[in-house]
């Protein structure tokens, strides 16, 4: 006889892929006719923008554009000239289980960009990219909570009460905003804008009902050339605040919001040239983790009938730890020549590697530094270097860690003996979860009446509990109930006394 069960549904997202693709792209480009010939390439300013993402059957894909500005010293002239180059890129990874209903989150970063002159009118641009791709597939899973009528068939059920920490919402929102940046002029002619870089940072996120409110700033870095040829930098913070609709998390959910640049345009004011009009197109990508209370039917038997059951190991997750771990870095970049002054220091972060050492997880990322400076002759030069930055995390083997890195604040760079000393901080934002398996009953049917070896079952059995054997196990084995065993032995708790003979009565 089939039994009727009470069932529930777990609605969540499975992370079917989470990788960082590291790839190199190159492009040959001709110097525009309006630009003078190249004497020497000094530096490359680059910005990786996310143009699109796509979820296919088993494949997660992201594409974008590197907007690069090549700065060079021209032949027969002083100062620096700029040359704009756009280089498209595409990255994809296998994502088993992903369908077109899935959502792909992507974050491209330009780790390093450099160029060399093939001749005075032709350059080769090389960029080193890191593209974080996370593929999330929506899933609905039916679970068995219990039997609707335990009286029918004299049923005894054992239920598990717990919670599942799950990715319950994945949403995104594009938005655009513009602002005007006033350029420093010191009362004279305004400087020329050589390069612009934008880094969006989400500083705060909060759930109120079904709405996710997030705030942050777009950090804008400017490289400027003064009328006399000197180089300087500018910095501006452009605040933003947005609301995104999410569902299924509740106000106690944990939010992770990343904001990516999808496009940006800038131009100087055609009037006095003392301001910069900047328009940003951004994409906010949010993951919301939450706790769902669950009741699972862990075991089931009948005191009167044989029973056939279908079982399943139900995976459950629980939050282990959520933390931000800052790592301060101080390093000397050797230049091999005397440095007169530092113009600008830039930092980009690469892939996060995870290596286990016992119960510790070692997280390592590469910090890609680029410093523009003036040598002893006042000529602009550039030094590049990659520095590994590590963080240790207490993390047993059954714990899974999701980590992303960022650098708050600026990179401080100063002239030092032998080169340039840099100081900065890298923050490792870690979310760790532990997975458990709970044995559950998914279906069952009643069979024939229970029989006992040797004929009729004795009214009372006297025996010792085996090591590790619980009250439920004994009651199930003898077709009785836990309540009857507790009553017969005058016990008040389920814990069994060691070394004591138990009276196991027949079901009445």
Q: What is the pTM of this model?
A: 0.89
Tokens of 437: 């398996």
The CA-atom distances, in angstroms, between 115 and each of 225, 264, 434 are 20, 23, 46
Reported as type and span, the H/E element at residue 354 is: strand 339-357
Alpha-carbon Rg of the chain, whole angstroms? 32
What sign does the CA torsion over 340, 342, 343, 348 have?
A: positive
Query: What structural domains and CATH numbers belong to the chain?
Result: 10-138+167-290+319-435 (no CATH), 455-508 (3.10.350.10)
pLDDT, residue 38, reads 96
Closest CA to 160 of 298, 2, 57, 32: 298
Phi, psi of 238, rounded to the nearest 5 degrees: -110, 110
- Mean pLDDT for back-to-back runs of 10 residues, the chain (508 residues): 88 94 96 94 96 96 97 92 96 96 96 95 96 96 89 85 92 93 80 94 91 94 91 93 83 89 89 85 95 93 90 92 94 95 94 93 96 95 96 90 90 95 96 92 89 66 84 89 89 80 80
Q: How many helices (H) and strands (E) does the chain have?
A: 2, 21
Whether residue 291 contacts residue 165, with contact meaning beta carbons closer than 8 Å, is answered with yes
DSSP state of 452: B
Tokens of 186: 């010191």
Whether residue 447 contacts residue 363, with contact meaning beta carbons closer than 8 Å, is answered with no
pLDDT, residue 1, reads 74
- Beta bridge partner(s), residue 197: 221
The CA-atom distances, in angstroms, between 185 and each of 180, 229, 270, 276, 299 are 15, 14, 15, 13, 77
pLDDT, residue 61, reads 97
Buried b (16+ CB within 10 A) or exposed e, 401-430: bbbbbebeeebebeeeeebbbbebbbbbeb
Q: What angle do CA 296, 302, 303 make, to 5 degrees?
A: 135
Reported as type and span, the H/E element at residue 30 is: strand 5-30
CA distance 202 to 205: 8
* DSSP code per residue over 254-281: EEEEEEEEEEEEEEE-TTTS-EEEEEEE
Tokens of 7: 């069932």
CA distance 381 to 398: 49
DSSP state of 450: P
Phi, psi of 475, rounded to the nearest 5 degrees: -65, -40
pLDDT, residue 457, reads 65
* Phi-psi map region of 37: left, alpha, beta (phi>0 left; psi -120 to 50 alpha): beta
Three-state DSSP at 487 gives: helix
């Amino acid at each position: 006889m089939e039994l009727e069960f009470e069932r529930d549904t777990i609605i969540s997202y499975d992370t079917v892929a989470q990788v960082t693709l590291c790839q190199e792209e190159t492009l040959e480009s001709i110097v525009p006719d309006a630009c003078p010939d190249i004497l020497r390439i000094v530096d490359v300013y680059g910005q990786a923008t996310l143009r699109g993402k796509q979820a296919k059957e088993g494949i997660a894909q992201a594409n974008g554009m590197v907007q690069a500005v090549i700065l060079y010293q021209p032949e027969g002239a002083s100062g620096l000239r700029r040359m704009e180059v756009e280089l498209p890129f595409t990255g994809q990874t296998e994502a088993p289980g992903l369908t077109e209903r899935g959502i792909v989150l992507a974050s491209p970063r330009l780790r390093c960009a450099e160029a060399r002159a093939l001749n005075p009118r032709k350059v080769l641009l090389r960029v080193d990219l890191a593209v974080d791709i996370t593929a999330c597939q929506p899933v609905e899973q039916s679970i068995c909570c219990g039997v609707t009528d335990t009286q029918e068939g004299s049923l005894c059920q054992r239920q598990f009460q717990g919670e599942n920490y799950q990715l319950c919402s994945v949403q995104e929102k594009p938005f655009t905003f513009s602002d005007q940046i006033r350029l420093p002029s010191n009362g004279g002619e305004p400087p020329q804008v050589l390069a612009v870089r934008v880094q969006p940072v989400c500083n705060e996120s909060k759930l109120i009902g079904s709405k996710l409110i997030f705030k942050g700033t777009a950090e804008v870095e400017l490289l400027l050339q003064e009328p006399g040829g000197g180089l300087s930098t500018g910095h501006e913070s452009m605040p933003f605040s947005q609301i995104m609709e999410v569902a299924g998390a509740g106000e106690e959910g944990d939010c992770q919001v990343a904001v990516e640049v999808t496009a940006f345009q800038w131009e100087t004011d055609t009037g006095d040239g003392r301001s910069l009009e900047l328009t940003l197109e951004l994409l906010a990508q949010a993951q919301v983790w939450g706790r769902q209370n669950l009741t699972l039917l862990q075991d089931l038997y009948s005191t009167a009938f044989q029973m056939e059951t279908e079982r399943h190991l139900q995976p459950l997750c629980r939050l282990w730890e959520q933390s931000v771990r800052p790592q301060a870095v101080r390093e000397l970049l050797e230049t091999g020549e005397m440095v007169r002054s530092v113009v600008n220091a830039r930092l980009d972060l690469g892939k996060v590697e995870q290596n286990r050492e016992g119960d510790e997880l070692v997280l390592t990322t590469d910090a890609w530094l680029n410093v523009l400076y003036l040598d002893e002759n006042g000529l602009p030069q550039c030094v590049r270097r990659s520095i590994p930055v590590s963080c240790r995390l207490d993390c047993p083997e059954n714990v899974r860690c999701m980590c992303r890195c960022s650098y708050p604040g600026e990179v401080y760079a100063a002239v030092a003996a032998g080169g340039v000393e840099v100081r900065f901080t890298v923050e490792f934002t870690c979310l760790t979860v532990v997975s458990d398996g709970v044995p559950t009953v998914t279906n069952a049917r009643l069979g024939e009446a229970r029989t006992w070896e040797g004929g009729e079952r004795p009214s009372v059995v006297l025996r010792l509990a085996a090591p590790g054997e619980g009250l439920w196990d004994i009651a199930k084995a003898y077709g009785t109930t836990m309540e009857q065993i507790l009553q017969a032995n005058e016990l008040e708790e389920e814990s069994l006394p060691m070394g004591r003979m138990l009276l196991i009565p027949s079901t009445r």
